Amino acid sequence: MKTISTEKSHGGTQGVYVSRSEACDCDMTFAVYVPPQATKGNCPVLWYLSGLTCTHANVMDKGEYRRLAAELGLIVVCPDTSPRGDHVPDESDNWQFGKGAGFYVDATEPPFSANYRMYSYIADELPRLLAAEFPVDMDRQAIFGHSMGGHGAITIALKNPDRFKSCSAFAPISHPSVSGWSKPALRKYLGPDEKTWRAYDACSLIEDGHRFPELFVDQGTTDSFLEDGLRPDELRQACEAAGIPLKLRMQEGYGHSYFFISTFMEDHLRWHAQRLGN
């Protein structure tokens, strides 16, 4: 692991780091905020997964999480959204696929299967690195994210309920198998057999028996992607049928941007902190 930068913030340290990823076969950059409480002992970990076109930097620059993370004693980890590098296959004219659009899946279709293994990177590889290099309490982990990252957070939590104490999302892609802006990506990453997509679809995972104690979702009512891309009502229906408590807040007048995310970031941090025991 190499340190790209560190800055003191609210008594803690905001760092940016890079390490070679075996899962993605490239160098991967990620950000970690370590609160001041870490000088006295290991702190719980909150993972934030970003959305389409984003890197680690979007939430780091615009998410406004550090003041409260310092108050609550939370380590906040912000990974990149896809593999990077000249050798990584891409569609440079398609913002919904390729670099910046890994969808947190392990691709099975060549040529993407060589690099686009974001599920393994987030679920297995980066946690091992984090545990080795930072003052983290890996028995207290939570996960949240935005849009494509909200999809990633919920699906990863559903498949790893013993690892995470809590899960929330801002405007998640709730049913990517049927969403107009994610179906093409799933087909290219995972192949034409739509049954294989179910492992990376929150609604399908719930239908197939995966469970999580509770979910918390904020969604803007003026989000331009609401009906076709995000489909929160379908997540609500899946949770109701499965008996999973879902706190779904429709936030009047809010869109899809970081103006929306930063407005409700405090609510999510406090919600996770309570469930992490902080």
Residues classed as catalytic:
147, 223, 256
Sequence-ordered list of residues with C-beta below 8 angstroms from that of 176, at least 6 positions apart, any chain: 103, 151, 182, 183, 185, 186, 197, 200, 201, 202
Distance CA 272, CA 162 (A): 15
Distance CA 84, CA 68 (A): 31
Q: How far is CA 120 from CA 95, 199, 260, 277, in A?
A: 23, 13, 29, 27
Residue type (1 letter), 120: S
Q: Which residues of 108-122 are buried (b: 16+ CB within 10 A; e: fewer)?
A: eeeebeebbbbbbbb
Q: What are phi and psi of 71, to 5 degrees?
A: -65, -40
Q: Which two tokens stand for residue 110?
A: 């060549």
Sequence-ordered list of residues with C-beta below 8 angstroms from that of 138, at least 6 positions apart, any chain: 45, 127, 130, 131
Q: How far is residue 3 CA from its own chain's centroid?
A: 22
Distance CA 263, CA 98 (A): 29
